[in-house]
Amino acid sequence: MSAPSSRDFDVVIVGAGVLGASMASLLVARKLSAPGRVAIVAERFATAASADADWDLRVFALSRASERLLKGCGVWDSLPAQRVFAYERMCVWDASGEPQGKGSLRFDCAEIGEPNLGFIVDGRALQWQCLQAARTAGVVLLEAGLAAIVATDSDISVRLSDGRALRSQLLIGADGQESKTRALLGIETAGHAYHQDALVAHVRTAKSHCNTAWQRFLRPGPLAFLPLPDGRSSIVWSAALPEAARLRALDGEAFGAALTAASGGSLGDCELSTPLAGFALKLQYALEYARPRAVLLGDAAHVVHPLAGQGLNLGLMDCAALADVLGQAGGGAFFGEHRLLRRYERWRRSENLLAAGALDGLERLFSNADPISRGLRAAGLSAVDKLPFVKRRLAQRALGLNGDVPEFLKADRAWPHK
Ligand SMILES: Cc1cc2nc3c(=O)[nH]c(=O)nc-3n(C[C@H](O)[C@H](O)[C@H](O)COP(=O)(O)OP(=O)(O)OC[C@H]3O[C@@H](n4cnc5c(N)ncnc54)[C@H](O)[C@@H]3O)c2cc1C
């Protein structure tokens, strides 16, 4: 097979979120593309936050596999130490149970021989460092919207909102849940709205968070406290729309009291230390991830309930899987081959659907008020808590240490080593 003639870029990525930027750096870090051969198109690029700014309201719980991937693309070690917090324990309990007693499930990193259970990372710092790593890797950043896509047998072209045209072997849509790339490719989605908002803020609590991620399953939706390095916690409180609207209308003191009650007083009195932000929640999955010369990844391909903090972790595994598959292409000239991109699609679609289904099932089970479901989940949590082997498997799965993870993420070693 003769190689198609060289194009403007090997790869054009639409979207400069954490995933678009990480994918671009990964292509260079894995030596799949040379500096200058990958471009990112985005309507806006993130700007740096001042060093003394408060933690971003968006925080991410990241797994070990995500940490390894971000290390490999030069992001992790550039994150300011005060913007990353390793948590050591996790406690999940049902509304009818107690965090330290019946109806709860606890994990401790010491039980699984790991230094921590993952990291809480400041969203703005992560976003900025991902973009910086892409710049350092020689990725070309183009500020513009996406206007049109035309794929031919030998390449794919995108026309930008400012009239420029870019040709490449592969187009990657990493432009989030409202992906224009997906729409222009004519890829349909399925799913449903949860009719819930996730309320997000940072709070002070009277009791220490003890380096623990806490999650209580309430009937209107789960309430999570993610520990921050300054002793505060970042909350993600998912509630049905009318309840979320009621909570948002409360003044700070009344909201703190409602939060204290919703957490069963487990962390003592809670006090808001930031404004509240709200995110509408839905389950959405693209019916296809791959078209000739084009793929989707991250929220453009799948949006899941945030109850287990998995969306970005799944998206980073999409990046890793795509890099793994492109590594088998035999060079950038062959990146657009549909058979290769279908391999990525089969791999990631099954993993992501499994995760989305599990999270959807958990959300339904825990929001169900009938006594059988209530009894089942309390008994289920207590039972799993008494099974060290099952707990270890669950914790390792959450850390991304087992499951269908690309080989190059399985061990903590330096890159590149294809
Ligand atoms: C409340 C909440 C808590 C969460 N917590 C966690 C967590 O703890 N851990 C975790 O792993 N995940 C978490 N998630 C999920 C996570 O936020 C998403 O999965 C992740 O941000 C998706 O990243 P992305 O890069 O695909 O999309 P986005 O972050 O949405 O980025 C898309 C990018 O594309 C750009 N773009 C969009 N349209 C265009 C266009 N037409 N042209 C050019 N550029 C465009 C945007 O400007 C943006 O830069 C949470 C989600 C919610 C709602």
Task: For ligand 1, atom 27, name the residue with the nearest CA.
Answer: 176
**Model confidence pLDDT, tens digit, residues 374-400:** 666 776 767 667 666 666 777 777 787
Q: Which one is predicted more confidently, 386 or 121?
A: 121
Q: Which one is predicted more confidently, 262 or 111?
A: 262
Please give the distance, rounded to the nearest whole angstrom, from the Cα atom of residue 299 to the centre of ligand 1.
6
- In this predicted structure, what is the pLDDT of residue 332? 85
- Closest ligand 1 atom to residue 19 Cα is 25
Q: For ligand 1, say whether the CB of 70 is within 6 Å of any of its atoms.
A: no
**Model confidence pLDDT, tens digit, residues 88-107:** 999 988 887 777 777 788 88
Q: For ligand 1, say whether the CB of 14 is within 6 Å of any of its atoms.
A: yes
Q: For ligand 1, say whether the CB of 42 is within 6 Å of any of its atoms.
A: yes
Q: For ligand 1, say whether the CB of 146 is within 6 Å of any of its atoms.
A: yes
Of 235, 279, 312, the one to substitute when testing ligand 1's pocket (max ligand atoms within 8 A of C-beta) is 312
- In this predicted structure, what is the pLDDT of residue 371? 65
234, 192, 197: which is closest to 212 by C-alpha? Answer: 234
- Closest ligand 1 atom to residue 300 Cα is 26
Q: Residue 247: which H helix or E strand, with range? A: helix 241-249
Domains, the chain, ranges and CATH? 9-86+119-191+282-365 (3.50.50.60)
pLDDT band at 348 (very low <50, low <70, confident <90, very high): very high
- Strand 270-272 relative to strand 189-205: parallel, antiparallel, unpaired? antiparallel
Q: Residue 395: which H helix or E strand, with range? A: helix 388-398
pLDDT band at 418 (very low <50, low <70, confident <90, very high): very low
- In this predicted structure, what is the pLDDT of residue 26? 97
- Closest ligand 1 atom to residue 312 Cα is 11
Distances (CA, A) of 81 to 76, 319, 347: 10, 25, 34
Q: What value does the mean pLDDT of the chain take?
A: 90
Backbone angles phi, psi at 214, to 5 degrees: -105, 140
**Model confidence pLDDT, tens digit, residues 318-334:** 999 999 999 999 888 89
- In this predicted structure, what is the pLDDT of residue 14? 98
Please give the distance, rounded to the nearest whole angstrom, from the Cα atom of residue 255 to the centre of ligand 1.
27
- In this predicted structure, what is the pLDDT of residue 341? 97
Task: For ligand 1, atom 9, name the residue with the nearest CA.
Answer: 309
Q: For ligand 1, say whether the CB of 174 is within 6 Å of any of its atoms.
A: yes
The angle at the Cα of 380, spanning 378 to 382, to the nearest 5 degrees, equals 70
pLDDT band at 408 (very low <50, low <70, confident <90, very high): confident
- In this predicted structure, what is the pLDDT of residue 383? 66
Predicted confidence (pLDDT) at residue 372 exceeds the cutoff of 70: no
**Model confidence pLDDT, tens digit, residues 248-263:** 999 999 999 999 999 9
- Closest ligand 1 atom to residue 175 Cα is 34
H helices present in 81-205, as ranges: 123-136, 180-185
- Strand 212-218 relative to strand 89-94: parallel, antiparallel, unpaired? parallel
When pLDDT is averaged across residues 397-407 and rounded to a whole number, the result is 80
Show Cβ contacts of residue 363 under 8 Å, excluding neighbours closer than 6 positions: 194, 221, 222, 305, 307
